[in-house]
Amino acid sequence: MQRRTLIAAGALGLGSLAGLRGTSAAGGRLHGGAALAFGTTISVVVRHDDADTARLAIGDALAVVARVHHLMSIHDPRSEVFRLNRDGVLRSPDPRLLEVLQHARALSQLSHGAFDITVQPLWQAGREAANRGGVPTLAERERARALAGWRDVEASRERVTLRRPGMRVTLNGMAQGYAADLALRAVRRHGIRDALLDTGEFAPMGDAGGRQWTLGVLDPRADGGLAAAFAADGRCVATSGDYGSAFTADFRHHHIIDPATGLSPPELASVTVLAPTALEADGLSTAFMVMGAHSAHALATRLPGVDLLTINKGGHVWRSHGFPALRT
């Protein structure tokens, strides 16, 4: 599985993380660890007085993330998602895979299909065309679009089935968030109350020792620049952006695809979502990109604990009422 740079490439910048690792802080020291997963480096920072406890907690968190990666990768032949895509059926699926598939189905219903894990053939068509220096032809796009349809994924404890030959799923819009949630639970089991996990989505807990964890939203059109920063309020955070894996230089065609049209959604450059869990934030950030600003903000008002910040392709920033104050 590639990191969600395919769906939310580098969407959040944690400007102070590197500088905080191993430094002193009120009530405990900050300890950091990192590993490779989802095609990139994932990071865990915890605050605790005991270095051995911190080290064990970080190791367990990283191990949890690695297990999710190996379970849900679309590239690893040993993963259950790879085998499902290859064979069209997966028997005795892992309960963790079922949990994510069930959440994906619920989000597809909630978003009226804006979120759809079966868009992988559309993504593949876009990627192959980009490698040729172009975009998919209408015929290529329609062939791929005919294979999309979240209702045609059946999942139970006995088996997962893709109803139509050629269907493919991707969990790149959920797996990193799910991994962050599980990793945070692993850290809590060690009695740690202050931590920040970065799996491509952010899961904060507590603070950095008298200082709030601060996250930065990348400017979609300034390489490495920040559009704004904000203090984490305990909710998990995810961003999707058109710049993450652009298929064309003008950002009109990219890795986020509307399954209804087979094209990338035209309005938004990025969406940052705060939600009670990283799994929710991860999936919603993709759905909201497809839905567009007005529909996304309207839906967010109906979802407990969900806020968002949208930036359209003209640079207009729209922050929902409960989104933390921005620091520019």
Q: Which residues are annotated as a binding site?
A: 173, 282, 286
Strand order in the sheet with 12-13: 12-13, 214-218, 226-231
Question: What span, in angstroms and rounded, lies between the C-alpha atoms of 270 and 25?
Answer: 34
Closest alpha carbon to 3 in 59, 61, 83, 74 = 74
DSSP single-letter state for residue 292: -
Closest alpha carbon to 168 in 147, 154, 151 = 147
Q: Name residues whose C-beta falls within 8 Å of residue 298's C-beta, 6 or more positions apart in sequence.
A: none
- Kindly list the distances between the CA atom of residue 181 and the CA atoms of 174, 176, 264, 275, 310, in Å, as whole numbers in the listed order: 11, 9, 28, 12, 24
Q: What is the 3-state secondary structure (H, E, C) of 182-232?
A: HHHHHHHCCCCCEEEEECCCEEEECCCCCCCCEEEEECCCCCCCEEEEEEC
Question: What span, in angstroms and rounded, lies between the C-alpha atoms of 99 and 20?
Answer: 34
Write down the H helix ranges in 73-137. Answer: 80-87, 95-110, 120-131
Alpha-carbon torsion angle 95, 100, 102, 105, nearest 10: -160
Closest alpha carbon to 37 in 74, 14, 70, 80 = 70
Residues making up the binding site for Mg(2+): 173, 282, 286
Token code pair at residue 272: 């940052």
Token code pair at residue 134: 């172009």
